[in-house]
Amino acid sequence: MTHYRERLWPAPWLFISTALVIPASLLVFLPINTTAGIIVAIVLYLGCVGLLLLGSPVVEVTDTEFVAGKARLPLALVGDVAGFSGDEARVQRGQRLDARAYLLIRGWVDPVLKVGVDDVDDPTPYWLVSTRNPAALAAALEATRQRTPGK
């Protein structure tokens, strides 16, 4: 059962900025053929939008694991959880970042959640995950982790 699920959709400004592919492709293809130029511009923009949507990772808490993108962490190995936003999130992504940490960071999502990894065999000390609602994600992790046997 899923207790929390969030897809890190791209920000609206990304769709607007990728629209710059339209005039760029028109500049290249309009002198060759007007119809081909318009078709190529539309196809390239839709391709960019498709890649942005397909590349949006999912952050999820289930009965057994914490999922961040393609990575999975069993709830029994989840350690301390802390959410950060604003300047504190910036510091966590920069000055206080451990090079061994697993990162699922999206530049258009400011808040982050720091999830400790309680596994002596794992060199990763923690996961740093972008989330639009760190308090809800932390609460879901804590509540689900308390129900997990062995924790």
Q: Would you kindly state where each structural domain of the chain is located, as residue ranges?
A: 2-54, 62-147
User: Residue 149 — very low, low, confident or very high, per pLDDT cuts 50/70/90?
Assistant: low
pLDDT at 72: 97
Question: Quick one: pLDDT at residue 150?
Answer: 58
pTM summary value: 0.86
Mean pLDDT score, 141-151:
77
Pick from 76, 57, 79, 78: which is nearest to 68 by CA? 57
**What CATH code would you report for 62-147?**
2.30.29
- The answer to whether 116 and 92 are in contact (CB under 8 A) is no
Alpha carbons 97 and 112: distance in angstroms, whole number: 12
DSSP 108: T
Does the structure show a pLDDT above 90 at 68? yes
Q: Which of these ranges, 111-115, 123-127, 133-137, 141-145, has the smallest mean pLDDT?
A: 141-145
For residue 109, give Cα distances in angstroms to 11, 32, 70, 131.
Answer: 8, 41, 18, 6
pLDDT at 85: 95
pLDDT of 145: 82
Q: Is 134 exposed, middle or buried (0-12, 13-18, 19+ CB in 10 A)?
A: buried
pLDDT tens for each residue of 95-130 = 999 999 999 999 999 999 999 999 999 999 999 999
For the chain, the average pLDDT equals 95
Q: Please classify residue 113 by burial: count the beta carbons closer than 10 Å to its beta carbon, then call 0-12 exposed, 13-18 middle and 19+ buried.
A: buried
- Determine contact, residues 64/41, Cβ cutoff 8 Å: no
Mean pLDDT, rounded, for 126-151: 88
